Chains A and B, each alone.
Chain A
Amino acid sequence: MSASLGMFWLDGAESAAAFDPVLPGLIVLLPLLGFLANGWLALRHAERSADAVRRGEELDLDTGGRPSTHTLPSLIGPGVLLASFALVVVNFVRMSAVELHDPVVVRYWTWMATGTFTVDAALQFDQLSMIMMLVVTGVGFLIHVFSVGYMKDDPGYPRYFAYLNLFVFFMLVLVTGASFPVMFVGWEGVGLCSYLLIGFWFGDREKSDAGKKAFIVNRIGDFGFLVALFILFINFQTLDFVTVFGEAPEALTYGGGVVTAITLFLLLGAAGKSAQIPLYVWLPDAMAGPTPVSALIHAATMVTAGVYMVARASVLFALSPVGSVTVAGVGVATALFAATIALTQTDIKKVLAYSTVSQLGYMFLGVGVGAYAAGVFHLMTHAFFKALLFLGSGAVIHSMHHALHHTHNPADAQDMRNMGGMRRFMPFTALAMWIATLAIAGIWPFAGFFSKDEIIWYAGAAAVGPYAGLYTVYWVLALAAAMLTAFYMTRMMVMTFHGANRTGDEESKHLHEAPWTMTVPLGVLAVLSMFGGWINVPEAIRESFLGLGGALPMSEWLHHWLEPITHAATQVREEALLAAGALAGQEHDYGFLHHAPFGGGELTWALVSTVAAAVVVAGTVLWVRGWSLAPASESPEPTGFRKVLYDKWYVDELYDRIIVQPLLAVSRFFWRFIDQVIIDGFVNVVGGGARAVGWFVSLFQTGSVNTYAFVITLGVLAILGAVVAGG
């Protein structure tokens, strides 16, 4: 970046008191351009490979000439992300340089305008969207880079990058949209990309199915989202964020039915996108997509859109205690439920998938208990360590795949029972993933410790207002889930990287560390997973924190950064609690949250939880190492309760039985019976009846003159009778 450009943006930041975003549209537009460029390349390539397919040959990236099928997408794909990221950083710096209270809304054109309803194609830049953009473009860029290595030989390489860029475009629209409809564009757009990417290898029926499932389940959520929008519209006559959230505290009654309905429908939308109970089922299946996709979409960014949305609409949720407690309840239930399933999974990506669901549950718990910043915080750290975990697993799978491919072994490259001892072949990956594991397990001072413990803490502390009992239960459950997390993650690590290698003697010779394009992103993410949490060190432990103390710029930086977004919600909650007298006797400064349900301060519980988690991790390492594991083909089927967990509590089967199959049956019934028998039957009976009557009447036309005369006489009689009787 040239000095003059640097001067330009710094000047802007200094001279203007208000935040003036630099090329905001370009941030969003660049990935779109990348998509168009890559899409064009992809189509060209696909045309050529289609010819090959018709000739009965196999697809080959070289068919279209390596430069256009590989080199160009490799440059364009990550390139546009890097450029976007750079722009985001510039804007982030400029934003942090000023005191920004109100969001900056950039309007481009009027999108829809009916006369009573107007919505602009406008983007909103504020603290929350900035954080989200950083995550999306930053982590997104790393994953793009990783993909260059991971997808190197895939015949759909340019298409892959086209989708990925399109995804980032929609994700950016989602997080920057200045109104609910614009957000919804991104909301559905990412769903579309998720659909396309899950089914990226569409030739495989199961993968294709998984994509479809993701899309349809997401649409159930979208239904809720839309209904929420409608309710919002009739109450506010607009769907712009600024107006809605600005007027909400006055326009909507606290705890009223309207706001509760809004929040519950929004929750349905969020649950769909963020894979919460009862709509989480698509996410584990979504692992059918390429692993970097799982990292980007199904861990770091898209699935957190629900959390983002709740945080964005925090005022509304704050206005509805029922809504909030439901959000939190759904979150914690999901966290625990998914964790139980993750306990016994043997597919490395499935473990991570359920782990993701579980962590998303934590985020929901966070935003549900009113700790919106904490939720977003966990969203961010989770983006780091979960992306890392996925990418790491991707590296492992990549390696496994190569090895199995070389020896034509049909074994499953993702099954941990076929791994073991991988750290010998890929030490860097193992290290990076251990960092991430510690982070997710909540071990101090890794990123996850700060974010997750904060959520749990707030859950406990929320037990002062309405539904105090429920929140207490949540707190306990969240703690339990944290322990489970520590266990299953450690189990996964040990099964994968430790012990003896179970891949096979011949195969193990081909196991190797990933190329640099893959390891570099791992490294960066590992660093972020290490230190990412430090941006939001709680006030209570800042002094003692690593002895750094005052060296940290500030405690709870993220809280303060997001203050303009969340303060309205916080205010609403506080006022409500004050009005209810729930805070009587409480010290009232920053918040109202100072004591856990069973006493003890924040620091105490932080210590307890980290120690507990560490114990679980250590114990698990020892325990699992002692298992005598066999490759998948030789392993027995799980039994008893393990099998229930292994089969995911049979939820998919349940849904299939009570929703999918009945729906199909009803549909067939409608078609075969209502449509074809009743309605068409009626139509045909009318038609056929008319013809039958016609035929019957024509039988009187016997050809005999007597009959004809007789009918005429009857007619005369009738007429005479009528007339004579009448006259």
Chain B
Amino acid sequence: MSLDFSRNVHFVWALLPEIVLCAWGIGVLLAGVSGRRDPRRAGGEGAVEALPSDDLGWLTLVGIAVAALANGWLHGVTEIGASSMIAVDGFRLFANWIFLLAAAFGVVMSFTYVWRQRLQAGEFYALILFATAGMMFMAGARDLIVVFLGLEVMSISVYALTAFNRRDRRSAEAGLKYFLLGAFSTGFFLYGLALTYGATGSTNVTAIALAVENGAATPGLLVAGVALLAVGFAFKVSAVPFHMWTPDVYEGAPTPVTAFMSVAVKAAAFVAFFRVFLVAFGGAYASWYPLMWWLAAVTMVVANLVALAQTNVKRMLAYSSVAHAGYLLVALTAANEQATAGMLFYLLVYAVMNMGAFAVVLAVGRQAEDNLQLDDYAGLGNRHPLLGVFLTVFLLSLAGFPGTGGFMGKIFLLQGAAESGLWTLSVVLVLTTVVSYYYYLRLAWYTWMRDPILDDQHEGVFVPLSLRMALAMGVAVVLFLGIFPGGFMALARESAQGLAGVGTLLLGMAP
């Protein structure tokens, strides 16, 4: 099927996955509030034996599956005619897969958590679905205003999700911080949007690109707009120095939410970041290239160094996710097709490995916010060997070790950097990777090389079957991507083809 956006109804087809998700979200919401289930009755903390009824969760999963079907269907669809606000290209669809994957993983992780924490399941799952829809809007947006609105749908959902656990002060605190700073950064983003609009006369990515390349854009406003938009995106991808919220929010948010947003929000922000900067501002590469260079370098260095000092595992993983943003920024700095494909591939791998790691954190935390300190992981490998192995694989992948998807992803990014001749940045990347080894390995050594703590607090680590399967699949995917990355790499490469590659044109500008 081909879509012609001169007919508005075609937007329905183009946005089918989003629509499915939104509709399903409303459905889940209604199912949730129809009150068949009383969370207070269903169980409580301490009652581990009885499995909760996960029906809402499964319902959500079905929704995600339907959206996935729709997304798959879109692969066979082509755009014709003038480019519209909504892109139907591989880039968007690949990103959608990542969001859906993350959402599904997040939902599976939440099953027991929602029940143990007595959260309102309907709203919870609905917000996940809405957030996912928001991300999809961002990924498909070819108009800054759609990016902005997608961003807001996503953000507001995630703000709510972060503060969702009303019984937990940390959750509320995280929610507040996230919200205040998020809104603050939205201001910058919006300002950037306004200036870009003023400079180029449009918010459509294609139109902006045209204006920028023609030199028609007002340079004075454009650079300021670019800078402020970069700030907005940098905040969402949590690049240093706009990362300050990340550790606090990741630590405080409910673990499944942390897992979800550490992956999906970052992915969505990056996808939009790439589309806006590579397509719209491709012609102004020279002006934002040093910006990204420094942003990437500073992010990698600071995040990895600070992660060294963490003793809280969630917080450590938060810094780790900041560091990964740095790696991805290298791809943005390289700004070529290879790097873009690498970014997509990396995000895919990152989604699996990071959520996997958080899933283990969740299990060790007894489906709650317990046992988050490094010390609590002492001897985990002895008590729960399989969990230990899973954690180790995910950590190795995060560290970028051969045999895991993380390695291939990193190589992909480095290849992109190489194509643009970013050798210094590559060196920074690998050196900071060495630093990151330390803290990933530290978790591994607590897991395997310390004597287990045997006390009540560490009893009751409980991994429901669904999560267990998800973990196993995650490990399998991580290893598969590490050993046979070819297929997905080809897909990523194909998906990245739609975006212009500008980096290679400007070789030799490396500072």
Contacts and interface: CB of A to CB of B under 8 A. Distances in A.
Contact of A712 (B219, B222, B235, B294): B235
B290 A722 contact: yes
A720 B326 CA distance: 20
A694 B231 contact: no
Interface in A668-698: 687, 690-691, 693-695, 697-698
Nearest to A699: B309
Contact of B309 (A694, A709, A724): A694
Contact of B291 (A697, A698, A708, A722): A722
Interface stretch (B94-102, B240-248, B482-490): B240-248
A697 B290 contact: no
B305 A727 contact: no
B228 to A, nearest CB: 7
A7 interface: no
Given A695-B309, A707-B244, A712 B302 contact: no
Contacts of B180: 705, 709
A691 B442 CA distance: 13
Contacts of B224: 720, 723-724
B297 to A, nearest CB: 13
A726 interface: yes
Contacts of A541: none
A701 interface: yes
A703 interface: yes
A723 B302 contact: no
B445 to A, nearest CB: 15
Interface string B300-343: 00101111111000000000000000000000000000000000
B18 to A, nearest CB: 30
Interface stretch (B108-116, B128-136, B181-189, B404-412): B181-189
Task: Tell me the interface secondary structure of chain B in the complex.
Answer: helix
A719 B231 contact: yes
A701 B308 contact: no
B244 A712 contact: yes
Nearest to A719: B227
B136 to A, nearest CB: 27
A693 B435 CA distance: 12
Nearest to B185: A712
Contact of A727 (B219, B234, B244, B306): B219
A698 B230 contact: no
A697 B185 CA distance: 22
B223 interface: yes
B6 interface: no
B78 interface: no
A723 B220 CA distance: 10
Contact of B181 (A691, A700, A708): A708
B308 A691 contact: yes
A723 B291 contact: yes
B181 A709 contact: yes
Given A705-B180, A712-B241, A714-B241, A723 B223 contact: yes
Contact of B226 (A708, A715, A716, A723): A723
Contacts of B245: 708
Contacts of B306: 694-695, 697-698, 701
Contact of A691 (B184, B295, B309): B309
A701 B248 contact: yes
Contacts of B248: 701, 703, 708
Contact of A694 (B222, B234, B291, B307): B307
A332 to B, nearest CB: 64
B2 interface: no
Nearest to B222: A727
Given A697-B302, A723-B223, A712 B242 contact: yes
Interface residues of A, number: 28
A712 B308 contact: no
A708 B295 CA distance: 17
B291 to A, nearest CB: 6
A698 B309 CA distance: 7
Nearest to A727: B223
B188 A693 contact: no
B466 interface: no
Contact of B227 (A693, A697, A705, A723): A723
A711 interface: yes
B291 A711 contact: no
Contacts of A727: 219-220, 222-223, 287
Interface in B209-233: 219-220, 222-224, 226-228, 230-231
A687 B177 CA distance: 32
Among B227, B291, B435, the most chain A Cβ lie within 10 Å of the Cβ of: B227
A697 B309 CA distance: 9
A690 B434 CA distance: 11
Contacts of B235: 712
A708 B307 CA distance: 17
Contact of A716 (B231, B290, B305): B231
Given A711-B241, A712-B184, A712-B185, A723 B287 contact: yes
B120 to A, nearest CB: 27
A715 B242 contact: yes
Given A701-B248, A726-B287, A712 B181 contact: yes
A685 to B, nearest CB: 14
A64 B248 CA distance: 78
Nearest to B180: A705
Given A712-B184, A727-B287, A690 B241 contact: no
A441 to B, nearest CB: 74
Contacts of A714: 241
A482 to B, nearest CB: 73
B125 to A, nearest CB: 29
Contacts of A694: 304-309
A705 B181 contact: yes
A690 B308 contact: yes
B219 A719 contact: no
Contacts of B309: 691, 694-695, 697-698
A700 B302 CA distance: 12
B231 A715 contact: yes
Interface string A462-503: 000000000000000000000000000000000000000000
Contacts of A695: 306, 308-309
Interface of B: 176-177, 180-181, 184-185, 188, 219-220, 222-224, 226-228, 230-231, 234-235, 240-242, 244-245, 247-248, 287-288, 290-291, 294-295, 302, 304-310, 435, 438
Given A695-B306, A722-B227, 8 more contacts: A690-B438, A694-B305, A697-B305, A705-B176, A712-B244, A715-B241, A715-B242, A720-B228
Per CB-CB distance, the 5 closest pairs between chain A and chain B, nearest first, are A708-B244, A727-B223, A694-B305, A715-B241, A694-B308
16 contacts: A694-B304, A694-B308, A697-B302, A701-B247, A703-B248, A708-B177, A708-B248, A711-B241, A712-B185, A714-B241, A716-B227, A719-B295, A722-B290, A723-B226, A723-B288, A727-B223
